[in-house]
């Protein structure tokens, strides 16, 4: 179907408005030229509400909304473990990781690794992150976003790819992280309003107009198999979400990597005014995370009742959007595109930050600040072009893009988590140990994939994590070398406010209630 004139007008107004806001917040005072701290870290000016909103906007994109809705359609509520457990991880990151990172005023995660280990470790991880951001994250967001535009607005997929890339570039290339973070506030508000409205419409339809409560009760009765939080081994999707492993195993490894050591996520906290402001932003994001399954998973479950038999589960969310009335269709469509371009802007900014500050500046150390900012903008632009070209070849044949992203990144995630955790909390970890974990993560993951293909990727990650831990510790103890420590644990301030601690306890209790109800 295609959008009505009113829907198109609402969407165009959103696009123009967002670009205007981005240009406004990106302006510089007379006589001040944007430097690397301004462009890559927003001049360390981000407040808690901007940090929290931007964290969610960067996270909730096409592969989350469309991909997780598709997994909700196929798997059910169990896939929400990715969202709910992230809330706990965020609180841990805010308390124990951020104080270490912010203490040293770093721009990037690879920069921390160079200070903790050496330049070789930094370069290995810098190249890895740039590659994953371009060929996995950017491509998946662009591809799923273009599929949604094709379904809702009847726009050719190629044109959809071009539009999304151009839109993301138009509002983010000039202003950098500041433009991305402050426009993310608008994006999140629109995303939540549009997502909640879509959930309301679908539940009301399932309840035959009796309201969302009756609709939800009816949904649990019509599709009880979709409300198992812990999948049994006879479930056809056990390989994607292997029972108790998803709750106490590798999902935690995934989340530590994503929320604690992932550049395009943690960069918002690195740009905070202070550690306290960063921690308040983290707590705000954790609260928002608790409601995300209502927006990204519940519609997919509802689609399994309203529109069973879809050839591709990732069609669930776009198909539901066609149920929206005139006017609201434009708003929900704008919310979806808001999530997509927000993540694109975040990823390209992080790609440019890592390339410029971790690779380029090493070979051209004496250039002007203006030169480095220009390089950052060029890299952002080039990364978008590469991702647009590679999107269809890489993702065109996958039914559930969210699972594709998780499966691919799981080859490297265990090693990354080992490198950071040992680096921060075990002073004897050496560069050789870090490289052993990095290389071992890929090699052992590939070996498991080939020799034991039926092994669920989360179970595989568990095995690989402990293998990498063993390799890192063994190599560190076996190979005698100096490890350059940049911090002491007894000097790191892990104290958090009473409010932060109360939020942490509240998040934990909410999760206990959820799992006790849907076990």
The predicted model gives 304-323 an average pLDDT of: 82
Sequence-separated contacts (24+) of 381-386 with Cβ below 8 Å: 381/169, 381/173, 381/348, 383/130, 383/133, 383/134, 383/138, 383/347, 383/348, 383/351, 383/352, 384/138, 384/165, 384/168, 384/169, 384/344, 384/348, 385/165, 386/134, 386/138
**Residue % of the chain over a pLDDT of 70:** 91
Beta bridge partners of 272: 46
pLDDT in tens, 490-509: 567 888 999 999 999 999 99
Percent of residues, the chain, with pLDDT higher than 90: 28
Mean pLDDT rounded to a whole number for the chain: 84
What token pair was written down for 274?
């202070």
**pLDDT tens figures, 379-428:** 999 999 999 998 888 776 655 555 666 667 788 899 999 999 999 989 88
Q: What is the mean pLDDT of residues 150-158?
A: 81
CATH number of 5-392: 1.20.1730.10
DSSP 298-324: HHHHHHHHHSTT-SSGGGHHHHHHTTS
| Residues in contact with 338: Cβ distance below 8 Å, sequence separation at least 6, in sequence order | 14, 18, 57, 186, 187, 190, 191
pLDDT at 197 exceeding the cut of 90: no
Q: Which two tokens mark 412? A: 């490297």
Beta carbons within 10 angstroms of residue 97's beta carbon: 23
Give CA angle at 128 (366, 171), nearest 5°.
70
Could you tell me which residue, 3 or 199, shows the higher pLDDT?
199
Task: List CB contacts of 10: < 8 A, sequence separation 6 or more.
Answer: 327, 330, 331, 334
512: exposed, middle or buried (Cβ count in 10 Å: 0-12, 13-18, 19+): exposed
Q: Is the pLDDT of residue 476 over 80?
A: yes
| Residue of higher predicted confidence among 458 and 376 | 376
Q: How far apart are CA 111 and CA 235, in angstroms?
A: 43
CA 109/CA 42 separation, integer angstroms: 17
Residues belonging to the chain: 519
For the chain, the C-alpha Rg in angstroms (whole number) is 22
pLDDT in tens, 70-126: 888 888 888 888 888 899 999 999 999 999 998 878 888 999 998 888 888 899 889
CB 332 within 8 A of CB 194: yes
Q: What is the pLDDT of residue 39?
A: 79
* 8-state DSSP, 256: I
pLDDT of residue 194: 81
Alpha-carbon torsion angle 153, 159, 164, 165, nearest 10 = 180
Residue 251 pLDDT greater than 80, yes or no: no
Residue that is written with structure tokens 């049994």 in the block: 232
Q: The pTM is what? A: 0.87
Extract the tokens encoding 361: 């500046």
Question: In the Cβ-directed half-sphere of 222, how many Cα atoms lie within 13 Å?
Answer: 17
**Contact indicator for 380, 352 with CB cutoff of 8 Å:** yes
Supply 359's token pair. 């690779």
| Pairwise CA distance, residues 354 & 376, whole Å | 9
Do residues 336 and 148 make contact, with C-beta atoms less than 8 angstroms apart? yes
| Per-residue model confidence as pLDDT tens digits over 423-447 | 998 988 999 999 999 999 999 999 9
- With CA atoms as reference, report the closest residue to 48 among 518, 514, 506, 503: 503
Summary count for the chain: helices (H), strands (E): 26, 0
End-to-end CA gap in the chain:
39
CB 367 within 8 A of CB 356: no
How many whole angstroms separate alpha carbon 72 and alpha carbon 82? 12
Classified as helix, coil or strand, 183 is helix
pLDDT score of 248: 67
Q: What are the angstrom distances between the C-alpha of 514 and each of 3, 81, 83, 501, 511?
A: 38, 10, 12, 20, 5
Angstrom CA distances, 82 to 85, 88, 114, 297, 464, stand at: 6, 11, 30, 11, 20
pLDDT digits (tens, 9 = 90+) for 270-287: 888 899 999 999 999 999
Residue ranges covered by each domain of the chain = 5-392
Q: What is the pLDDT of residues 21-64, one digit of tens each?
A: 877 877 766 656 677 888 777 777 889 988 998 888 888 776 67
Distance, in Å, from the CA atom of 352 to the CA atom of 176, rounded to the nearest integer, reads 10
CA-closest candidate to residue 433, choices 487, 479, 465, 486: 479
Q: How many CA atoms lie within 13 A of 310 on its CB side?
A: 25
Cβ-contact 108, 353 below 8 angstroms: yes
pLDDT per residue as tens digits for the range 136-150: 888 888 887 887 788
Q: Which residues neighbour 412 within 8 Å (Cβ) at sequence distance 6 or greater?
A: 128, 132, 438, 441, 442, 445
Q: What is the dihedral of CA 114, 120, 122, 125, to 10 degrees?
A: -160
> Over 60: is that where the pLDDT of 152 sits?
yes
- Confidence band for 340, pLDDT divided at 50, 70 and 90: confident
Range with top average pLDDT, 235-244, 306-315, 412-421: 412-421
For residue 465, give the nearest of 429, 412, 427, 423 by alpha carbon.
412
Q: Please enumerate, as own/partner, the contacts of 18-24 that have beta carbons within 8 Å and a separation of 24 or more.
A: 18/171, 18/183, 18/186, 18/187, 18/338, 18/341, 19/170, 19/171, 21/182, 21/183, 21/186, 22/171, 22/172, 22/174, 22/175, 22/179, 22/182, 22/183, 23/171, 23/174, 23/175, 23/179
């Amino acid at each position: 179907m295609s959008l009505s004139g009113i829907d198109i007008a609402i969407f165009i107004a959103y696009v123009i408005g967002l670009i205007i806001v981005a240009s406004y917040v990106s302006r510089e005072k007379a006589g001040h030229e944007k430097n690397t701290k301004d462009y890559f870290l927003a001049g360390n000016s981000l407040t808690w509400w901007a940090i929290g909103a931007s964290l969610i906007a960067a996270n909730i994109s096409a592969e989350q909304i469309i991909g997780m809705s598709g997994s909700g359609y196929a798997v059910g509520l169990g896939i929400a473990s990715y969202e709910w457990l992230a809330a706990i991880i965020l609180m841990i990151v805010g308390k124990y990781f951020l104080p270490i990172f912010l203490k040293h005023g770093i721009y990037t995660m690879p920069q921390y690794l160079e200070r903790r280990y050496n330049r070789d470790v930094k370069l290995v991880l810098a190249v890895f992150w740039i590659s994953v951001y371009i060929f996995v994250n950017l491509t998946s967001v662009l591809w799923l976003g273009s599929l949604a535009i094709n379904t809702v607005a009847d726009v050719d997929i190629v044109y959809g790819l071009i539009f999304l890339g151009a839109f993301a570039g138009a509002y983010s290339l000039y202003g950098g992280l500041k433009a991305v973070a402050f426009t993310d506030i608008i994006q999140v508000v629109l995303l939540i309003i549009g997502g909640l409205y879509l959930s309301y419409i679908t539940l009301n339809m399932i309840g035959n107009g009796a309201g969302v409560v009756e609709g939800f009760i009816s949904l649990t009765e019509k599709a009880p198999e979709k409300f198992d939080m812990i999948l049994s081994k006879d479930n056809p999707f056990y390989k994607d979400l292997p029972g108790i492993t998803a709750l106490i195993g590798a999902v935690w490894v995934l989340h530590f990597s994503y929320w604690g050591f992932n550049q395009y996520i943690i960069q918002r906290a690195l740009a905070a005014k202070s550690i306290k402001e960063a921690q308040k932003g983290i707590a705000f994001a954790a609260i928002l995370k608790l409601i995300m399954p209502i927006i990204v998973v519940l519609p997919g479950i509802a689609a399994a009742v309203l529109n069973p038999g879809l050839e591709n589960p990732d069609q669930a969310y776009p198909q539901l959007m066609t149920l929206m009335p005139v006017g609201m269709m434009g708003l929900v469509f704008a919310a979806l595109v808001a999530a997509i371009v927000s993540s694109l802007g975040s990823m390209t900014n992080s790609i440019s930050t890592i390339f410029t500050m971790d690779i380029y500046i090493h070979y051209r150390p004496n250039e002007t600040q203006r030169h480095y900012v220009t390089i950052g903008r060029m890299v952002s632009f080039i990364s978008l072009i590469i991702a647009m070209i590679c999107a269809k070849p890489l993702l065109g044949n996958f039914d559930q893009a969210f699972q594709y992203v998780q499966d691919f990144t799981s080859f490297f995630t265990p090693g990354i988590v080992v490198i950071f955790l040992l680096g921060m909390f075990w002073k004897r970890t050496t560069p050789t140990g870090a490289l052993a974990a990095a290389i071992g993560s890929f090699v052992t993951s590939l070996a498991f994939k080939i020799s034991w293909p039926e092994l669920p990727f989360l179970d595989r990650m568990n095995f690989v994590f402990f293998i990498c831990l063993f390799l890192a510790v063994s190599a560190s103890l076996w190979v005698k070398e100096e490890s350059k420590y940049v911090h002491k644990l007894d000097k790191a301030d892990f104290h958090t406010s009473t409010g932060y601690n109360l939020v942490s306890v509240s998040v934990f209790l909410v999760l206990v209630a959820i799992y006790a109800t849907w076990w």
